[in-house]
Chain A
Amino acid sequence: MAHIGQSGYSPYPVAVYEGILTPPPGKALIFNEIVDEDIAMREAAKAMLTRQNPTIFPGPQVLYAWNEEAKEKAKLVRKMAEVLGAKIIPMYDYRPKYPKINPSVEINPNHPNLTIWHNKIKACIFVGVHCHYANVALKIIRAETDCFTIAMCSMAGHEDAMITLRDQHAEDMERFIKIAEEVKRELKQY
């Protein structure tokens, strides 16, 4: 589908035009394959632990203290970064910036590739980014970079990410951290 009609002219790949939809509840997506969440979490941890300059991009839903869950998730993002040996670069603002963002300290959904290029990021996790902005950014990243993208979404997930986990709340993030610790031990990185 992607190469027929209008979407064939897009510089950006669109997963749904290749027949890929968000995973059903209780499941996750690795590329175009629907898998159990634990399998996706293991692969996500492995990608973050083995690729260069892994980075977590936390969005407003975990950066601002909207509610108790947001505060708890923010602490878990920090813990996740420690376990994965990842940097944290926030997407705190969705406004496009003129002339451009400072890619060493921030990421913006309108030109996320600048941050990824600048920091040579080869694996990343989106967490707490509102779904629309995550989807806009993930399409650009997929087209413009070789970064392996992972989306931890509290809603229905993101088919444009290479791994997507849906309905992710604090307890799921804790489970991911445990799985990441296991994978890290298996990789003898401790």
Chain B
Amino acid sequence: MQATETLLYNRAGQKIVSPDYLLFEAPRAKHFMTGSEAVKEAVRRASVDASVSYPITPQSEAAHLIGELWAEGYVGVYFRGESEFGVMSEVAGCAMAGARTITTTSGPGTLRAMENFPMWAGTRIPVQLVLMARGINSPLSIQPDNLEVGFLLDTGCMIWYAETAQDLFDMILAGFTVAEQPDVHVPVINVIDGFFVSHTREAIMLPPDDIALPPYNPYKAPMPVIDAEVPPGRFLRDPFVMKSNYISYATHASWQWEVRAAIERSRPYAKHYLRGLIELFGNPEAELVFVACGTASAQAKEAVRLLEDEGIPAKVVKLKTIRPFPIEELRESVKGAKYIFVPEFNVVGWLEREVRRYLYGHSNAEIIGAPRVAGGMTMPAEAIVKEVLKLTGKEVKHVI
């Protein structure tokens, strides 16, 4: 709509480069940092306009580090919200006004803000949330646990899941790029397992910090940017329920399908920028398959190595995206599988439910929702191996 303007530098004086250059072509150097620091480095290179924060473990450090970027001139606006509900409402306002916006939260904060996530999707704003998953039970826990992701599955947001700090860095940059496509334009939630990734250091390859993503162009949004002075920005967001029931029913139905259609349209973009919606590890011919995301896939990879010692071939199908769910990729990758294990960091097994749903009628494999740990417990690779050996009746060499 607006005449294209070629920008060479962003507000921080970084050179604007294409997402493809930043993600795939720019030279990278090795660093050693935590997941929280990886968030900072991704935001530094993302030409972010606004971020709103609220403290909650384990994401507080990442939120704090984004604040440092504001002080350094990399982020346009940064402030602390009144609560997580306030934060998610405020970032929505920033995004509706045309800002590239990111925030972070964890566990109970996610649930406190819950009403906002379908609102984000329904208003078609490409907000990015970095979710550092944490337990949400009572009595209070601050330990890692990804139960909260199960609550987010049907909010209309894209949900991607990072295994490592490296994944997270790349997914934050790819997240803005995919979420801001005019035919997608729904929020993206990038999940990592709190503490396991946010608080541990690992090697991570970063492109130079003097280059950054092109700024967000809100005039390519599928809805008008709110502008109190210029129509039609001020002509659009009346709730239907205030009008007639006829309008309410018809439009709400079509509107909700449109939000979900937008997630489906993200598939080709996500495939490109994430180099596929899944990652395979291990013996491609294996009849024993682990389907997992995040830290559970890291541990499953270790289990594959241990099983190799036992003479049992196995492989891991790591899911990079949960919404959209990599349906065809999963079906293809478990062809020939006899046993599918779904290791998870929660008590309910939301990923097992997803796997069963999409493999129903497409696989004869036995699907086993194990091991499942929760409440902050770790998942040693040996615990995964033990589940497999229980099934095969084989003697355990690697004793826990």
Contact = CB atoms under 8 A, between A and B. Distances in A.
A99 interface: yes
B254 A64 contact: no
Interface string A68-103: 111000000000000000000000111111111000
Interface string B218-258: 00111110000011100110101011101100110111011
Contacts of B260: 14
Interface residues of B, number: 38
Contacts of A67: 1-3
B265 interface: yes
A130 B254 contact: no
Interface string A135-160: 11101100000000000001111011
B261 A16 contact: yes
Interface string B299-321: 00000000000000000000000
Nearest to A155: B182
A80 to B, nearest CB: 18
B219 to A, nearest CB: 8
B2 A66 contact: yes
A139 B244 contact: no
Interface in A154-178: 154-157, 159-160
Contact of A10 (B2, B221, B246, B253): B253
Contact of B232 (A60, A96, A156): A60
Nearest to A144: B250
Contact of A12 (B231, B257, B267): B257
Interface in B338-373: none
B208 interface: no
B240 A110 contact: yes
Contacts of A99: 243-244
B202 interface: no
A133 interface: yes
A10 B235 CA distance: 28
Nearest to A64: B231
A140 B254 contact: yes
Contacts of B235: 60, 93-95
B268 interface: yes
A139 B240 contact: no
B220 A136 contact: no
Q: Which of A16, A110, A130 has the most CB of B within 10 A?
A: A110
Interface in B360-389: none
Contacts, number: 119
Interface residues of A, number: 45
A15 interface: yes
Contacts of B246: 100, 111
A11 interface: yes
Nearest to B224: A130
Given A66-B2, A67-B1, A132-B124, A94 B251 contact: no
A55 interface: no
Contact of B265 (A21, A130, A140, A154): A21
A5 to B, nearest CB: 9
Contacts of A22: 183, 265
Contacts of B3: 67-69
A34 interface: no
A94 B123 CA distance: 13
A98 B244 contact: yes
A68 B2 CA distance: 9
Nearest to B264: A16
A68 B183 CA distance: 24
A135 B251 contact: no
A92 B231 CA distance: 10
A132 B253 contact: no
Which of B182, B230, B231, B258 counts the most A-chain CB atoms under 10 A from its CB? B258
A132 B258 contact: yes
A154 B251 contact: no
A16 B247 contact: no
Given A95-B235, A98-B242, A111-B250, 17 more contacts: A14-B258, A14-B261, A15-B261, A17-B264, A66-B2, A67-B1, A67-B2, A96-B243, A100-B244, A110-B243, A111-B247, A131-B185, A132-B222, A137-B254, A139-B257, A140-B250, A156-B181
A-B complex: 3 closest residue pairs judged by Cβ atoms: A131-B222, A156-B183, A132-B222
Interface of A: 7, 10-12, 14-17, 21-22, 60-61, 64, 66-70, 92-100, 109-111, 130-133, 135-137, 139-140, 154-157, 159-160
20 contacts: A7-B257, A10-B253, A12-B253, A12-B254, A12-B257, A60-B235, A64-B232, A67-B3, A68-B3, A69-B1, A94-B224, A95-B236, A96-B238, A99-B244, A110-B243, A131-B183, A136-B254, A154-B1, A156-B181, A156-B183
